[in-house]
Amino acid sequence: MSTLLRRTPLHDEHIRLGARLTDFGGWEMPLHYGSQIEEHHRVRRAAGMFDVSHMLAIDLRGPPVRAFLRRLLANDVARLVLPGKALYSCLLREDGGILDDLIVYFLTEDWFRLVVNAGTAEKDLAWILAQRDRLAPQLQVQPRRDLAMIAVQGPEARASVWRARPQTQGETENLAVFQGAHAGPLFVARTGYTGEDGFEIALPAGDAAALWRDLLTAGVAPCGLGARDTLRLEAGMNLYGQDMDESVTPLEVGLAWTVVLKDAREFIGRPGLESRMPRFQLAGLVLRDKGVLRAHQKLRSPHGAGEITSGTFSPTLGCSIALARVPLACQPGERVEVEIRDRWLPAEIVRYPFVRMGRSLLPG
Protein backbone atom coordinates (compact mmCIF):
# COMPACT_ATOMS: atom_id res chain seq x y z
CA MET A 1 0.00 0.00 0.00
CA SER A 2 1.24 3.47 -0.84
CA THR A 3 3.39 5.21 1.74
CA LEU A 4 1.72 8.47 0.72
CA LEU A 5 -1.47 7.52 2.57
CA ARG A 6 -2.04 9.43 5.79
CA ARG A 7 -2.40 7.58 9.06
CA THR A 8 -4.45 8.38 12.14
CA PRO A 9 -3.14 8.33 15.73
CA LEU A 10 -4.82 4.91 16.09
CA HIS A 11 -2.99 3.30 13.18
CA ASP A 12 -0.83 1.05 15.41
CA GLU A 13 -3.97 -0.16 17.22
CA HIS A 14 -5.52 -1.20 13.90
CA ILE A 15 -2.38 -3.12 12.94
CA ARG A 16 -2.29 -4.81 16.34
CA LEU A 17 -5.93 -5.91 15.87
CA GLY A 18 -5.21 -7.37 12.44
CA ALA A 19 -7.26 -4.85 10.46
CA ARG A 20 -7.60 -5.10 6.70
CA LEU A 21 -6.61 -1.59 5.63
CA THR A 22 -7.91 0.42 2.70
CA ASP A 23 -7.39 3.81 1.06
CA PHE A 24 -10.24 6.10 2.04
CA GLY A 25 -9.97 9.70 0.87
CA GLY A 26 -6.17 9.51 1.01
CA TRP A 27 -6.13 7.89 4.47
CA GLU A 28 -5.08 4.37 5.32
CA MET A 29 -8.12 3.20 7.30
CA PRO A 30 -9.49 -0.13 8.62
CA LEU A 31 -11.97 -1.76 6.24
CA HIS A 32 -12.72 -4.51 8.75
CA TYR A 33 -11.01 -6.51 11.47
CA GLY A 34 -12.14 -9.94 10.24
CA SER A 35 -15.85 -9.87 9.41
CA GLN A 36 -17.64 -6.74 8.28
CA ILE A 37 -21.06 -8.32 8.86
CA GLU A 38 -20.16 -9.39 12.39
CA GLU A 39 -19.04 -5.82 13.14
CA HIS A 40 -22.31 -4.50 11.73
CA HIS A 41 -24.35 -6.75 14.02
CA ARG A 42 -22.26 -5.79 17.05
CA VAL A 43 -23.22 -2.15 16.53
CA ARG A 44 -26.93 -2.96 16.08
CA ARG A 45 -27.01 -5.32 19.07
CA ALA A 46 -24.36 -4.08 21.56
CA ALA A 47 -21.55 -1.60 20.90
CA GLY A 48 -18.87 -1.00 18.29
CA MET A 49 -16.29 1.71 17.75
CA PHE A 50 -14.86 3.41 14.69
CA ASP A 51 -11.70 5.43 14.25
CA VAL A 52 -12.99 8.59 12.59
CA SER A 53 -9.84 10.63 13.14
CA HIS A 54 -9.51 11.12 9.38
CA MET A 55 -12.42 13.55 9.61
CA LEU A 56 -11.33 17.11 10.33
CA ALA A 57 -12.52 19.33 13.18
CA ILE A 58 -12.27 23.02 12.33
CA ASP A 59 -12.67 25.50 15.17
CA LEU A 60 -14.02 28.96 14.41
CA ARG A 61 -13.34 31.53 17.11
CA GLY A 62 -14.28 35.16 17.53
CA PRO A 63 -17.37 37.24 18.20
CA PRO A 64 -18.71 37.23 14.62
CA VAL A 65 -18.79 33.42 14.41
CA ARG A 66 -22.56 32.92 14.64
CA ALA A 67 -23.33 35.58 12.04
CA PHE A 68 -20.60 34.14 9.79
CA LEU A 69 -22.01 30.61 10.02
CA ARG A 70 -25.51 31.88 9.23
CA ARG A 71 -24.01 33.03 5.91
CA LEU A 72 -21.77 30.00 5.35
CA LEU A 73 -24.20 27.12 6.01
CA ALA A 74 -27.50 26.11 4.41
CA ASN A 75 -28.90 25.06 7.78
CA ASP A 76 -29.36 27.87 10.30
CA VAL A 77 -27.16 27.94 13.40
CA ALA A 78 -29.76 30.25 14.96
CA ARG A 79 -31.35 26.89 15.84
CA LEU A 80 -28.42 26.26 18.20
CA VAL A 81 -29.49 27.79 21.50
CA LEU A 82 -28.00 25.55 24.18
CA PRO A 83 -24.19 25.36 24.40
CA GLY A 84 -23.04 21.94 23.13
CA LYS A 85 -25.92 21.61 20.67
CA ALA A 86 -25.10 20.26 17.20
CA LEU A 87 -26.67 20.65 13.76
CA TYR A 88 -26.23 18.78 10.46
CA SER A 89 -25.75 21.05 7.44
CA CYS A 90 -24.60 21.24 3.87
CA LEU A 91 -21.88 23.63 2.78
CA LEU A 92 -22.96 25.01 -0.59
CA ARG A 93 -21.32 26.60 -3.61
CA GLU A 94 -22.85 29.80 -4.98
CA ASP A 95 -24.89 27.74 -7.47
CA GLY A 96 -26.38 25.52 -4.74
CA GLY A 97 -24.12 22.50 -5.43
CA ILE A 98 -22.98 20.65 -2.32
CA LEU A 99 -19.33 21.21 -1.34
CA ASP A 100 -19.65 18.96 1.70
CA ASP A 101 -21.94 17.90 4.51
CA LEU A 102 -20.86 18.52 8.10
CA ILE A 103 -21.81 18.77 11.74
CA VAL A 104 -21.57 22.14 13.45
CA TYR A 105 -21.31 22.37 17.24
CA PHE A 106 -22.16 25.50 19.25
CA LEU A 107 -19.60 25.51 22.08
CA THR A 108 -19.67 29.13 23.28
CA GLU A 109 -20.93 32.34 21.73
CA ASP A 110 -17.46 32.96 20.24
CA TRP A 111 -16.46 29.32 19.56
CA PHE A 112 -18.13 26.94 17.12
CA ARG A 113 -16.69 23.71 15.72
CA LEU A 114 -17.27 22.12 12.32
CA VAL A 115 -16.52 18.45 11.64
CA VAL A 116 -16.05 17.81 7.91
CA ASN A 117 -15.35 14.77 5.71
CA ALA A 118 -11.77 13.54 5.21
CA GLY A 119 -11.74 13.57 1.42
CA THR A 120 -13.03 17.13 1.22
CA ALA A 121 -11.21 18.63 4.22
CA GLU A 122 -8.60 20.63 2.28
CA LYS A 123 -11.18 21.93 -0.19
CA ASP A 124 -13.53 22.88 2.64
CA LEU A 125 -10.79 24.66 4.56
CA ALA A 126 -9.76 26.70 1.51
CA TRP A 127 -13.41 27.62 0.90
CA ILE A 128 -14.01 28.58 4.53
CA LEU A 129 -10.83 30.70 4.64
CA ALA A 130 -11.83 32.51 1.44
CA GLN A 131 -15.29 33.24 2.84
CA ARG A 132 -13.73 34.30 6.17
CA ASP A 133 -11.44 36.78 4.37
CA ARG A 134 -14.43 38.22 2.54
CA LEU A 135 -17.06 38.25 5.30
CA ALA A 136 -15.38 38.15 8.73
CA PRO A 137 -11.62 38.83 8.47
CA GLN A 138 -11.15 38.94 12.25
CA LEU A 139 -12.48 35.38 12.71
CA GLN A 140 -9.92 32.68 13.61
CA VAL A 141 -10.15 29.46 11.61
CA GLN A 142 -8.21 26.64 13.24
CA PRO A 143 -7.99 23.13 11.72
CA ARG A 144 -7.61 20.66 14.62
CA ARG A 145 -5.34 17.89 13.31
CA ASP A 146 -4.15 17.62 16.94
CA LEU A 147 -7.43 15.86 17.76
CA ALA A 148 -8.36 12.21 17.27
CA MET A 149 -11.99 11.10 17.03
CA ILE A 150 -13.61 7.82 18.06
CA ALA A 151 -17.28 7.03 17.37
CA VAL A 152 -18.78 4.55 19.85
CA GLN A 153 -22.16 3.33 18.59
CA GLY A 154 -24.87 0.89 19.58
CA PRO A 155 -27.45 0.32 22.31
CA GLU A 156 -24.68 -0.34 24.87
CA ALA A 157 -22.32 2.37 23.59
CA ARG A 158 -22.88 5.03 26.22
CA ALA A 159 -22.70 2.60 29.13
CA SER A 160 -19.48 1.19 27.66
CA VAL A 161 -17.92 4.66 27.50
CA TRP A 162 -18.84 5.20 31.13
CA ARG A 163 -17.20 1.89 32.07
CA ALA A 164 -14.04 2.89 30.19
CA ARG A 165 -14.04 6.49 31.51
CA PRO A 166 -16.22 6.66 34.66
CA GLN A 167 -15.22 10.27 35.28
CA THR A 168 -17.10 11.36 32.12
CA GLN A 169 -20.48 10.00 33.20
CA GLY A 170 -21.55 13.03 35.22
CA GLU A 171 -20.94 15.42 32.33
CA THR A 172 -22.48 13.22 29.64
CA GLU A 173 -25.36 11.15 31.03
CA ASN A 174 -27.95 13.85 30.51
CA LEU A 175 -26.88 14.79 27.00
CA ALA A 176 -29.78 14.96 24.58
CA VAL A 177 -29.43 13.58 21.06
CA PHE A 178 -27.26 15.91 18.95
CA GLN A 179 -25.75 17.53 22.03
CA GLY A 180 -22.17 17.46 23.29
CA ALA A 181 -20.17 18.47 26.37
CA HIS A 182 -16.58 18.70 27.48
CA ALA A 183 -15.58 16.06 30.03
CA GLY A 184 -11.99 16.77 31.03
CA PRO A 185 -9.85 16.58 27.87
CA LEU A 186 -12.64 14.80 25.97
CA PHE A 187 -15.41 16.39 23.96
CA VAL A 188 -18.27 13.89 23.97
CA ALA A 189 -21.28 14.31 21.67
CA ARG A 190 -24.37 12.16 21.34
CA THR A 191 -24.12 11.91 17.57
CA GLY A 192 -23.22 9.26 15.02
CA TYR A 193 -23.58 7.81 11.54
CA THR A 194 -25.19 4.43 12.24
CA GLY A 195 -28.82 5.00 13.24
CA GLU A 196 -28.00 3.83 16.77
CA ASP A 197 -27.52 5.65 20.04
CA GLY A 198 -23.94 6.46 20.98
CA PHE A 199 -21.20 9.00 21.37
CA GLU A 200 -18.62 10.59 19.13
CA ILE A 201 -15.57 11.53 21.18
CA ALA A 202 -12.93 14.08 20.18
CA LEU A 203 -9.75 14.03 22.24
CA PRO A 204 -6.04 14.92 22.09
CA ALA A 205 -4.33 12.58 19.60
CA GLY A 206 -1.89 11.37 22.25
CA ASP A 207 -4.72 10.10 24.46
CA ALA A 208 -6.54 8.22 21.71
CA ALA A 209 -4.78 4.83 21.91
CA ALA A 210 -5.38 4.57 25.68
CA LEU A 211 -9.10 5.30 25.27
CA TRP A 212 -9.33 2.83 22.35
CA ARG A 213 -7.78 0.08 24.48
CA ASP A 214 -9.99 0.85 27.48
CA LEU A 215 -13.06 0.70 25.24
CA LEU A 216 -11.89 -2.71 23.96
CA THR A 217 -11.61 -3.86 27.57
CA ALA A 218 -15.10 -2.52 28.20
CA GLY A 219 -16.38 -4.89 25.49
CA VAL A 220 -16.66 -2.51 22.53
CA ALA A 221 -15.95 -4.20 19.18
CA PRO A 222 -13.56 -2.46 16.77
CA CYS A 223 -15.39 -1.81 13.51
CA GLY A 224 -14.14 -0.74 10.10
CA LEU A 225 -15.37 1.47 7.32
CA GLY A 226 -17.15 -1.49 5.70
CA ALA A 227 -19.59 -1.83 8.60
CA ARG A 228 -19.80 1.95 8.82
CA ASP A 229 -21.07 2.00 5.24
CA THR A 230 -23.73 -0.72 5.66
CA LEU A 231 -24.87 0.86 8.95
CA ARG A 232 -25.21 4.37 7.50
CA LEU A 233 -27.01 3.07 4.43
CA GLU A 234 -29.52 1.13 6.56
CA ALA A 235 -29.95 4.35 8.55
CA GLY A 236 -30.66 6.21 5.28
CA MET A 237 -27.78 8.62 5.64
CA ASN A 238 -26.09 10.08 2.56
CA LEU A 239 -22.39 9.59 1.89
CA TYR A 240 -20.60 12.57 0.41
CA GLY A 241 -18.92 11.79 -2.91
CA GLN A 242 -21.34 8.95 -3.54
CA ASP A 243 -24.95 10.06 -2.95
CA MET A 244 -24.12 13.73 -3.42
CA ASP A 245 -21.41 16.02 -4.72
CA GLU A 246 -21.01 19.50 -6.20
CA SER A 247 -23.25 18.67 -9.17
CA VAL A 248 -26.43 18.29 -7.07
CA THR A 249 -28.37 20.39 -4.57
CA PRO A 250 -29.65 19.34 -1.14
CA LEU A 251 -33.18 19.42 -2.55
CA GLU A 252 -32.25 16.68 -5.03
CA VAL A 253 -30.71 14.28 -2.50
CA GLY A 254 -33.27 14.17 0.30
CA LEU A 255 -31.75 16.97 2.38
CA ALA A 256 -34.42 19.68 2.00
CA TRP A 257 -34.99 19.34 5.75
CA THR A 258 -31.49 20.73 6.36
CA VAL A 259 -32.02 23.90 4.29
CA VAL A 260 -33.73 26.74 6.14
CA LEU A 261 -35.52 29.02 3.67
CA LYS A 262 -38.28 30.30 5.94
CA ASP A 263 -36.89 33.81 6.50
CA ALA A 264 -34.79 36.19 4.41
CA ARG A 265 -31.41 34.86 5.63
CA GLU A 266 -28.84 35.27 2.85
CA PHE A 267 -26.71 32.13 2.98
CA ILE A 268 -24.20 31.19 0.34
CA GLY A 269 -25.93 29.14 -2.35
CA ARG A 270 -29.46 30.36 -1.63
CA PRO A 271 -29.96 32.33 -4.87
CA GLY A 272 -28.50 29.39 -6.80
CA LEU A 273 -30.83 26.93 -5.06
CA GLU A 274 -33.88 29.09 -5.62
CA SER A 275 -33.18 29.43 -9.34
CA ARG A 276 -32.80 25.66 -9.96
CA MET A 277 -35.67 23.23 -10.25
CA PRO A 278 -34.85 19.86 -8.68
CA ARG A 279 -34.20 17.31 -11.45
CA PHE A 280 -34.70 14.15 -9.39
CA GLN A 281 -35.20 12.90 -5.86
CA LEU A 282 -33.36 10.42 -3.67
CA ALA A 283 -35.40 7.30 -2.93
CA GLY A 284 -34.94 4.15 -0.92
CA LEU A 285 -34.98 0.85 -2.83
CA VAL A 286 -35.40 -2.75 -1.72
CA LEU A 287 -34.47 -5.49 -4.18
CA ARG A 288 -37.29 -8.05 -4.49
CA ASP A 289 -35.04 -10.68 -6.04
CA LYS A 290 -31.70 -12.29 -5.38
CA GLY A 291 -28.58 -10.21 -5.92
CA VAL A 292 -26.97 -7.04 -4.60
CA LEU A 293 -27.77 -3.46 -5.58
CA ARG A 294 -24.64 -1.39 -6.23
CA ALA A 295 -23.78 2.21 -7.04
CA HIS A 296 -24.20 3.19 -10.73
CA GLN A 297 -26.66 0.43 -11.60
CA LYS A 298 -29.40 1.71 -13.92
CA LEU A 299 -33.04 1.76 -12.91
CA ARG A 300 -36.26 2.12 -14.87
CA SER A 301 -39.59 3.25 -13.41
CA PRO A 302 -43.03 4.08 -14.85
CA HIS A 303 -41.90 7.74 -14.70
CA GLY A 304 -38.50 7.39 -16.34
CA ALA A 305 -34.95 6.29 -15.70
CA GLY A 306 -32.82 6.58 -12.59
CA GLU A 307 -29.54 5.43 -11.09
CA ILE A 308 -28.41 3.88 -7.82
CA THR A 309 -25.94 6.01 -5.86
CA SER A 310 -25.32 3.63 -2.90
CA GLY A 311 -26.28 -0.02 -2.69
CA THR A 312 -25.39 -2.93 -0.47
CA PHE A 313 -26.56 -6.09 1.18
CA SER A 314 -28.30 -5.13 4.43
CA PRO A 315 -27.09 -7.44 7.20
CA THR A 316 -30.00 -6.41 9.45
CA LEU A 317 -32.74 -6.98 6.84
CA GLY A 318 -31.13 -9.90 4.99
CA CYS A 319 -31.82 -8.36 1.58
CA SER A 320 -30.30 -5.76 -0.68
CA ILE A 321 -31.11 -2.05 -0.24
CA ALA A 322 -30.05 1.12 -2.00
CA LEU A 323 -30.38 4.86 -2.32
CA ALA A 324 -31.16 5.95 -5.87
CA ARG A 325 -31.83 9.05 -7.92
CA VAL A 326 -35.32 8.59 -9.35
CA PRO A 327 -37.82 10.80 -11.21
CA LEU A 328 -39.68 13.29 -9.01
CA ALA A 329 -43.01 11.54 -9.72
CA CYS A 330 -41.91 8.23 -8.15
CA GLN A 331 -43.75 7.26 -4.97
CA PRO A 332 -43.09 4.78 -2.15
CA GLY A 333 -44.71 1.43 -2.94
CA GLU A 334 -44.02 1.64 -6.68
CA ARG A 335 -42.28 -1.18 -8.50
CA VAL A 336 -39.17 -0.38 -10.52
CA GLU A 337 -36.53 -2.51 -12.22
CA VAL A 338 -32.77 -2.43 -11.73
CA GLU A 339 -30.24 -3.69 -14.24
CA ILE A 340 -27.88 -6.20 -12.67
CA ARG A 341 -25.52 -7.99 -15.07
CA ASP A 342 -27.75 -7.52 -18.13
CA ARG A 343 -30.95 -8.57 -16.38
CA TRP A 344 -33.72 -6.29 -15.12
CA LEU A 345 -34.66 -7.33 -11.57
CA PRO A 346 -37.70 -6.11 -9.59
CA ALA A 347 -37.23 -3.61 -6.77
CA GLU A 348 -39.61 -1.49 -4.73
CA ILE A 349 -39.38 2.18 -3.78
CA VAL A 350 -39.61 2.56 0.00
CA ARG A 351 -39.30 5.35 2.51
CA TYR A 352 -35.96 5.46 4.26
CA PRO A 353 -34.31 5.06 6.81
CA PHE A 354 -34.53 1.30 6.41
CA VAL A 355 -33.41 0.53 9.97
CA ARG A 356 -33.43 2.60 13.13
CA MET A 357 -32.37 1.58 16.65
CA GLY A 358 -31.96 -2.05 15.60
CA ARG A 359 -35.44 -2.36 14.04
CA SER A 360 -36.61 -2.69 10.45
CA LEU A 361 -38.75 0.19 9.23
CA LEU A 362 -39.74 -1.60 6.01
CA PRO A 363 -43.47 -1.90 5.29
CA GLY A 364 -45.10 -5.29 5.76
Measuring CA to CA, which residue among 292, 287, 290 is closest to residue 350?
287
Compute the least distance from the CB of residue 293 to another protein, in Å. 10
Task: Answer yes or no whether residue 297 interacts with another protein by CB under 8 A.
Answer: no
Residues 65-94 that bind another protein (CB under 8 A): none
Task: Answer yes or no whether residue 30 interacts with another protein by CB under 8 A.
Answer: no
Write each residue from 211 to 250 as x if it is in contact with another protein (CB under 8 A), else as -, in one continuous string: ---------------x---x--------------------
Residue 158 CB coordination number (10 Å): 22
Task: Answer yes or no whether residue 312 interacts with another protein by CB under 8 A.
Answer: yes
- Cα–Cα dist 353/198, whole Å: 18
From the list 9-17, 29-37, 76-84, 328-336, the region that binds another protein by CB under 8 A is: 29-37
From the list 82-90, 167-175, 312-320, 321-329, the region that binds another protein by CB under 8 A is: 312-320
Task: Answer yes or no whether residue 296 interacts with another protein by CB under 8 A.
Answer: no
- Cα–Cα dist 314/293, whole Å: 10
From the list 153-161, 199-207, 287-295, 322-330, the region that binds another protein by CB under 8 A is: 287-295
Task: Answer yes or no whether residue 294 interacts with another protein by CB under 8 A.
Answer: yes
Residues 340-359 that bind another protein (CB under 8 A): 341
- CB distance 53 to 115 below 8 Å: no
Beta bridge partners of residue 42, listed in sequence order: none
Measuring CA to CA, which residue among 51, 42, 52, 87 is closest to residue 177?
87
Beta strands in 93-238 (DSSP E): 98-108, 111-116, 140-143, 147-153, 180-183, 186-189, 198-204, 221-222
> What is the size of the binding site for another protein (CB under 8 A)?
17
Residues in contact with 315: Cβ distance below 8 Å, sequence separation at least 6, in sequence order: 37, 40, 41, 44, 230
**272, 291, 327, 353: which one binds another protein (CB under 8 A):** 291
Q: To which H or E segment does residue 15 belong?
A: helix 11-16
Compute the least distance from the CB of residue 127 to another protein, in Å. 32
**10, 21, 29, 31: which one binds another protein (CB under 8 A):** 31
How many alpha carbons fall within 13 Å on the CB side of residue 239? Answer: 25
Contact set with another protein (CB under 8 A): 20, 31-32, 35-38, 226, 230, 290-292, 294, 312-313, 315, 341
